[in-house]
Amino acid sequence: MENVAFQHSLPALVHEVEQFYFLEADMFDEWRLREWLELLADDVRYFMPMTRNVAHNNRAAQFTRPQQDVAWFDDDKQILVARVEQILSGVHWAEEPLSRISHLVTNVRIHAAEGDTVEAGSRFLIYKNRMQSETDIYVGKRRDVLRRTADGLRIAKRTIWLDQNVLLAKNLTTLF
């Protein structure tokens, strides 16, 4: 396996990953969710833990654990497909009418690039407004494992840390 870092300079790789994230954000915000599903590897893991307030010597317990604890999301591709089909069903009242959403993605950094795999971190700020004045703001961090395929980058693993303890929104119908 060749090291991607040798094929691409770091700025080029950052640019490629950023452009990938911006495309993804457009897909979210324009409700092109079936297209977004195509950006996911078939074995994708999509995980958003819950966050606890813990003592400084108990920081390991700050987040619930994947495939073990309760989480806001701990999904495979099948469940993500179901979520998308529900949102686009026209009778999912929590998203009917659809909300107005803008995903901002920033602080993109490459943590590792080896073979066909890129590990990238980012921050997100998502603004959601629905009905008249219902507004939610989600801010947090993401860490992805991206896989390079003949069709372009694919998300093999995404971990999302939302900077909230008690959730501040009544619903999480937004994709992150």
Partner 1 sequence: MPLDLDTLVTDDGLISREIFSSAEVYARERETVFAKSWLFVGHVSQIPNPGDFFLSTTGEDSVILSRDTKGKVHVFLNSCRHRGMRVCRFDEGNTRRFLCPYHGWTYASDGTLLGVPEFTNGYQGVLDKSQWGLIEPPHLFDFHGMIWVNWDPQAQPFLESLGDMAFFLEDFLRMPDGGIGEWEVIGGVMKWPIPANWKWGAENFAGDFYHGISHASVDQIAISPSGELGRHQSDAVKRPMKLINASIAKGGHSARGRLFEDDYPYTSEYGKYAEVDRYFADAYEKRQQRLGPLARLHGAGGTVFPNMSYSNGRYSIAVWNPRGADRTEAWRWYLVPKDAPEAVKDVMRHYAIRYQGPSGMTEQDDLENWNYAHEACHGNVARKLDFNYQLGRETDDSLLAGWNLPHTTVAAGFTEHNQRGFYRHWQSMLSGGQG
In the complex, the smallest distance separating the C-beta of residue 101 from partner 1, rounded to whole angstroms, is 15
Q: Closest Cα partner for 8 from 103, 90, 110?
A: 110
Binding of partner 1 by 168 (CB under 8 A): yes
> Is residue 94 a contact point for partner 1 (CB under 8 A)?
yes
- Nearest distance, CB of residue 144 and partner 1, angstroms: 19
* 3-state SS assignment for residue 18: helix
Q: Which of 58, 102, 107, 149 binds partner 1 (CB under 8 A)?
A: 58
Cα–Cα distance for residue pair 102/87, rounded to 1 Å = 17
* Least separation in angstroms between CB 171 and partner 1: 5
Is 133 a binding residue for partner 1 by CB under 8 A? The answer is no
**What CA–CA distances, in Å, run from 118 to 10, 16, 67?**
11, 11, 23
From CA 82, how far away is CA 99, in angstroms rounded?
Answer: 19
Give the residue, chosen from 3, 19, 26, 79, that forms a contact with partner 1 under the rule CB under 8 A.
79
